[in-house]
Chain A
Amino acid sequence: MALEDFALETDRCSQCSYCKWIPFDQMKSWRFAKNCPSVSYNNFNSYSARGRYAVSRSLIKKQIPYTDTVRHIVFSCMTCGSCDVSCKICRYNLYPLEMVRELKFKLVEDGQDLDEHRAVIESLKKEQNTMMQPKAVRGKWAEDLDVPRLFSQKAEILFHAGCRLSYDTEIQSSAVAAVQILQKAGLDVGIMGEREICCGGRIYSMGYRDEFARFAGENIAAWEKAGVKTVVTSCADGYHAFKRLYPEFGSRVEVLHTVELLHRLIMAKKLEFHSEVPMTVTYHDPCHLGRQGEPYVPWNGVEKKIKNQIIVYEPERPRYNGAFGVYDPPREILERIPGVRFLEMERIREYSWCCGAGGGVREAYPEYSGWTAAERIAEAKATGAEALVSACPWCERNFMDAVGDDSMKVFDIIDLVKLAM
């Protein structure tokens, strides 16, 4: 697609500002009623989905030039998708998240990308990771694990660690734990180790569509060669890339987030808890596992009108409004861990507040990224929980950085599962 393909949507956006709020039906307080970090932090309309429709329209019609402000407006979007959820409460023919992605693609294609992102891309091209680290040490996290390396050995299930867990030594124990738990449950699991490459999800959300396509192609080819049937990852960004984006490039493997697989194992009694974890926790839904974690539905249709002017699609177009994301498995896991007292925050599931790490914001605008995480930590504290649990290493890292010396503990859910086993 191209930005011009959204021209009709720019005229059909109702300018209602629903995109700035969580679904009104779900509002429980003044304090935690907003949904979009971008407009909440920057305040001008242009930083909302509604404003980005206006910016897109003006760019398409060549009414505005590229400026630093335009770049800031576009790349301040975390592509967390919360605007998309709120918009689609009432609208069945607008796709604001797809629009803002297309806007990013256009800026990148027009050479309007950010220096901070270019540095990531340059490193990625060379080192095949978004952490700006040497590819030679990518497999170091698993050097003590006795697990097949699928570039030379075979296994049905591939555990993809992802860039963050492969390099972030402070949190990568959860990747080790995930593999150990799956092995203990008797699953035929392997890893790519030092040959693992980036999923491309994060560069896709920065606007680098072509680079993403290259990584998708390489990963799919590697999986086919290894005979992988299922790909499991603990990274929500990776999960979204594999589950929602890769099928467009021909991927046919089953994609599971670790929480989905652990949940299956617990339900099948192949995984049992023996230790108490006395802790009051709350759970943060990662955007790419929750509202953007819905299954991929192939669609190649066209717009048509019924009853004169009602806009529909032929065939029916997938809605992707967050209704069927992965929300219950992590909650059910937490509720089954002995000793854990689970409390909900106000903004949860499809209308969860973003951690602040997505869309290239962490790389380009660290202060704003940190503010977004701090907002979530404040919400977690308001529940009375002592720990904030998530299911994505990017969320975990952003929260850990924002917590500082604060009393709130931050965990990946796998850490708690491991403690309870």
Chain B
Amino acid sequence: MALPANVYKDLEDIVGSRNISGDPAVLDSYRYSLAHTAIHLGPFFDTFTPRGACVLLPGSTEEVRAIVELCNKHKIKFKASSTFWSAQGFPSEDDTIQLDMRRMDRILDIDKKNMFAVIEPGVIGATLQAEVMKVGLNTHIPGSGCSCSTLASATSYFGSGPSNLYGGWHYDNLLGLEWVMPTGEILRTGSLGQGCGWFCGEGPGPSMKGVARGFLGSKGSMGVYTKCAIKLFAWPGPECLPVEGTIPAYRTPLPDNFKAYTVAFPSWKAWADAAYAIWDAGIGYLAHRQFNMFGRDLKFAMVKILTDPTKTLSDLEELLADPEVQEITEQSKREFQIILVGMTKRDIEWQKKAFDEILERTGGWKVEAMDEPHIHDWVLLYMIRLGHKNLNLVFGGGYDGCFGLLGAADYGASNAEEAALFKKKWEKRGAIVDAGGDCMMGPIGGQGGGGTCLWENFTCFDSADRESTEGTFEFFDACTRFGLEKGWGVGMEKWNAVARGPDGKTTSKKKRDTIHLGSPQPSVFRYQHRVREAFNPNDLGDAYYETLDDT
């Protein structure tokens, strides 16, 4: 159903005729395929999120406020998204207005002294990082990569990534926030709300971070965040990353205070012990089990392809048959990547020694092949900028993570092999990429400074192939059953299935209530229900802000 002409006209008056469209061709470019990367939801073959009622490109907070007020007047649902990485940013119901925040993309301030930046929704990790590096600072980039909105990651999700270890995940890093609430009122939180500037998320002034974000972020369901301040951290490197090499094998040769290692261990226990020791020692800038996302059997061959501009996926089988590649693959079964960055020469020397000591104690070793200069410098650039996130989808255009064991290093490490074996059996059925079972990847230090790891087992498939897509879904169902059987709980493969169903639309209340009532802490969702009633009385968002009304 198209919007009534008078409503469309009112919206056009707010944003201008260039910034509104109701054309089906435009609207279809704002539909998200639930086949190729369902982001913990499906996948569902040939299924798209609903077509919006219109798309708006607001250019200011005032325009957003006016849009939201109009939506309240006419009881029209709206959904804002900045960089559209996942299904979460797209409408869940018919006749929803899609707000594309890309025009609001300014970096409003970089406060070098107090180490924060004030940004609008359209600012992505890469541009923010490029700008703050000029003044000796860096920004955390979430696991979704530097193409994603920093504000969205901080306000609407949890923003975990390789630099959790030193930079803190984005939930931690969110300072002042400007929020166009679901009713259209504007709330400024933390120190900003008291007129004291952007420096603090909690006060003086209204400490509304928990209310605004809710459980794991409100994902565009509770109004629109139009500005925020984000905490930055030290960057003791050049003002601009020096980039060499031929596309796509770009690499950055950095000074001696930067060192990238791929390290492997004789057992998962040793792997976990090393993680604890790294956190205890307080060393490391970024740490991630990164390249295992290609799979235990494929990862080094993939590194060879990605670091050689003359190679393609067609070279994969030949590389896998190479005895040298096989040997390196075997020796790096249980590995992760870590980047040490010294604030001074003395610091890097100390960190290197401490790290060597950790390896000695745990029996770990450095994978020498990953220390070849062209690979080392490629790893540095890959991890620091995180600009190759779309390699998730390199094989066939479809990927999603399953299991997602979140907890102390021991927790994932002690279950990783069993999960991998389970997946390996399913790989033999043919629907998903045969990658060696263990495609577990995730941060070493899931919270700022350490504490947890996340083990997400990447599952790759062909999104344009019905058998592959449906076979993957069948596998994910089996993962859920296996996870429950093992006491791990429901894995990441179904994280968002509570909010959106196989038809791309909001799930039924009955289904949501059943899931929330079965969760370990249903009261969280009851509390959110009360929040939603108070802040979003016309319920103009969708079920991604999870609520439980079991009265």
* Contact surface of A with B, Cβ cutoff 8 Å: 7-9, 11-18, 21, 23-30, 33, 43-46, 48, 50-51, 54-55, 57-58, 63-65, 67, 69-70, 73, 85, 88-94, 305-317, 319, 321-324, 350-351
Give the segment of B31-39, B415-423, B480-488, B529-537 that binds chain A.
B31-39
Say yes or no: B394 contacts A309, CB within 8 Å.
no
Q: Would B396 and A11 count as touching, CB distance under 8 A?
A: no
What is the minimal beta-carbon distance from B377 to any residue of chain A, in angstroms?
A: 11
Contact A323 B247 (CB under 8 A): yes
A-B contacts besides A14-B397, A27-B130, A45-B84, 19 pairs, CB < 8 Å? A12-B464, A14-B392, A14-B393, A15-B33, A15-B37, A16-B389, A16-B390, A16-B393, A21-B124, A23-B248, A23-B250, A44-B26, A45-B29, A46-B29, A57-B28, A69-B25, A85-B247, A308-B433, A309-B432
Residues of chain B at the chain A interface (Cβ within 8 Å): 18-19, 21, 23-26, 28-33, 35-37, 46, 55, 57, 83-85, 100, 102-103, 107, 123-124, 126-131, 145-147, 240-241, 243, 246-248, 250, 252, 298, 309, 312-317, 381, 385-398, 427, 430-435, 460-465, 468
Given A43-B19, A90-B393, A92-B313, A24-B147 contact (CB < 8 Å): yes
- In the bound assembly, the distance between CA atoms of A44 and B29 in angstroms comes to 8
* CB neighbours of B128 from chain A (8 A): 30
B29, A24: Cβ atoms under 8 Å? no
- The reply to whether B381 and A21 form a contact with Cβ atoms under 8 Å apart is no
In Å, the complex CA distance between A54 and B48 comes to 11
Interface core residue of A54, A63, A309 (most chain B CB under 10 Å): A309
Which of A8, A14, A46, A305 interacts with B390 by CB under 8 Å? A14
Q: Considering residues B26, B147, B386, which has the most beta carbons from chain A within 10 angstroms of its beta carbon?
A: B26
Contacts of B28 in A (CB 8 A): 46, 54-55, 57-58, 63-64
Q: Which among A73, A94, A308 has the highest number of chain B CB atoms within 10 Å?
A: A308
Q: Which residue of B lies closest to A48 (CB)?
A: B29
Contacts of B312 in A (CB 8 A): 92, 312, 316-317, 319
The answer to whether B127 and A30 have CB atoms under 8 Å apart is yes
Task: Tell me, rounded to whole Å, the shortest Cβ–Cβ distance linking B515 to chain A.
Answer: 27
Given contacts A309-B433, A313-B314, contact A12 B463 (CB under 8 A): yes
A90 touching B247 by the CB < 8 A rule? no
User: A44 to B381, alpha carbons, bound, how many Å?
Assistant: 30
Q: Assess A30 versus B107: contact at CB under 8 Å? Given A12-B462, A64-B25, A308-B427.
A: yes
Q: Which residues of A contact B398 (CB under 8 A)?
A: 12
Check B248 against A88 for contact (C-beta < 8 Å): yes
For A85, list chain B residues within 8 Å (CB): 247
Nearest-neighbor residue (CB-CB) of A73 within chain B: B25
Taking the closest CB of chain A, its distance from the CB of B101, in whole angstroms, is 11
Q: Is the CB of B23 within 8 A of A67?
A: yes
Is the Cβ of A321 less than 8 Å from the Cβ of B25?
no
A55:B248 contact, CB within 8 angstroms: no
* Min distance, Cβ A326 to any Cβ of chain B, angstroms: 14
CB-based nearest A residue for B84: A17
How close is B305's CB to chain A, nearest CB, in angstroms?
8
Query: B462 contacts A54, CB within 8 Å?
Result: no
Closest to B378 in A: A25
> How far apart are B49's CB and chain A's nearest CB, in angstroms?
11
Question: A22 CB to closest chain B CB, in angstroms?
Answer: 9
Which A residues lie within 8 Å of B30 (CB)?
Answer: 45
Contact of A90 among B131, B394, B434 (CB under 8 A): B394
Contacts of A308 in B (CB 8 A): 427, 430-434, 468
How distant is B31 from chain A, measured CB to nearest CB, in Å?
7
B contact residues around A28 at 8 Å (CB):
130, 240
Find chain B residues with CB under 8 A from A323 CB: 246-248, 309
Check B36–A15 contact: CB distance below 8 A: yes
Considering the chains assembled together, what is the distance between the CA atoms of A309 and B295 in angstroms?
13
* Chain B proximity of A387: nearest CB distance (Å): 24
Sampled A-B contacts (23; CB under 8 Å): A12-B36, A12-B396, A12-B397, A14-B36, A14-B392, A14-B397, A23-B387, A24-B126, A25-B241, A25-B243, A26-B243, A30-B123, A30-B130, A33-B126, A43-B19, A43-B103, A45-B29, A45-B100, A46-B29, A67-B23, A90-B389, A307-B298, A323-B247
Beta-carbon contact of A25 and B313 below 8 Å: no
Q: Which residue of A lies closest to B393 (CB)?
A: A14
In angstroms, Cα B395 to Cα A311, docked, is 6
**Which 6 A-B pairs give the minimum distances between C-beta atoms?**
A24-B387, A12-B397, A51-B29, A90-B390, A11-B464, A46-B29
Cβ of B307 to closest chain A Cβ, rounded Å:
13
Contact B250 A92 (CB under 8 A): no
